[in-house]
Amino acid sequence: MTVLQDCINKKLNINCIWLMRQAGRYLPEFREIRSKHKDFIKLCLNENLSSEITVQPLRRFDMDAAIIFSDILLVPFALGQSVKFKKDFGPLLGEIDFNKISNINEIQFIDKLKPVYNAIKQTKNKGELKNKDLIGFVGAPWTILVYMLNKKSPKDEDIELNLKDKKFIEDLLEVIVKFLKIHINNQIESGATIIQIFDSWAGLLNRKDYDKYIYNPTKDLVNFVKSKKTPVICFPKGINDYKEYVSLVKPDVISIDYNVDPKKISESIDITVQGGLNPNFLIGGKDELKKNVKKYLDIFRDKPYIFNLGHGVLPNTDPSMIDYLVKLVKNYS
């Protein structure tokens, strides 16, 4: 059993850590690769480079897991929607051709994402992964739906404007859930030992829409991952009631964002908690970082807790601050 899985199984007093977006944009060795590979989707589908990028942070820092270098938008891409990443803007998706999406079969979908599964297999066999977990991931159905409909990051726009055509939305959501399961299954079959479900835009919805767009479809995925005897972490960023989410979706681990009161979470949730630290503290001073890291570690001292951030590592983070953070967590007592 790995350190991370011991923590998921509620064995206490384990100081474990990994970070969302720990592989990538803040590391000079990643930037060197990225400078030669401008097309982000093609980079994610380069199995040798994806595997190399995945293990880069493990060579620098004593992380307890790697997370495969990939992207949640590879699912819409594999469903035939164009996906491009524009510098300093983010993703841009093309029009949805539902007839085309409806006619894509499992073999075609897997074939387009085979480099991801090959990268997982390749990474699994690397020495850097000895006794460590390899995390695979997907976007939650709601978040994938948002990107496919909005064709870009929604920010604070009123997404309800895009939910008028109920029949089309229901049909599209059904297709998304079907292929997310296929993507999850192939990651597990290739060697992923934990699956994280990122619901990056959960905070956009009103409570009245949670059951239909968040709770029910995400629970379907969670049950699927559990049926594969694989732990599942859920990160419903911005959701207004983590306790309700946990009681209805029932993940093995709940990952919290930085706008949540960690004390309230520690008192109300009885499964393993992950994350919470604002990534902005990694671009400030060491004293402020130490104070805030200690706050989370103190609050969850007697609870199963995986140290992580409340969102991904920011691009302008100094790698030395990551090193300092990891050592703070590992040396905490």
Domain boundaries, the chain: 3-330
- C-alpha angle 116-147-197 in degrees, rounded to nearest 5: 55
Q: What is the pLDDT of residues 258-312, one digit of tens each?
A: 999 999 999 999 999 999 999 999 999 999 999 999 999 999 999 999 999 999 9
Mean pLDDT to the nearest integer, 235-259: 96
pLDDT-wise least confident of 164-173, 221-230, 312-321: 164-173
Give the CATH number of domain 3-330; options: 3.40.50.150, 3.40.50.300, 2.60.40.2130, 3.20.20.210. Answer: 3.20.20.210
Mean pLDDT to the nearest integer, 153-159: 66
- Amino acid occupying residue 316: N
Alpha-carbon distance of 171 to 67, in angstroms, equals 31
Alpha-carbon distance of 283 to 232, in angstroms, equals 30
Crossing angle of helices 216-227/141-150, nearest 10°? Answer: 130
What is the value of pTM for the model shown?
A: 0.96
pLDDT grade, residue 162 (50/70/90)? low
Quote the DSSP letter at residue 9.
T
CA 153 to chain centre: 16
Residues whose CB is less than 8 angstroms from the CB of residue 282 and which lie 6 or more positions away in sequence, other chains included: 289, 309, 313, 314, 317, 318, 321, 322, 325
Is it the case that residue 84 has pLDDT exceeding 80? yes
Mean pLDDT to the nearest integer, 187-191: 98
Is it the case that residue 159 has pLDDT exceeding 80? no
CA 186 to chain centre: 17
Alpha-carbon distance of 300 to 297, in angstroms, equals 5
Q: Are 281 and 288 within 8 A, CB to CB?
A: yes
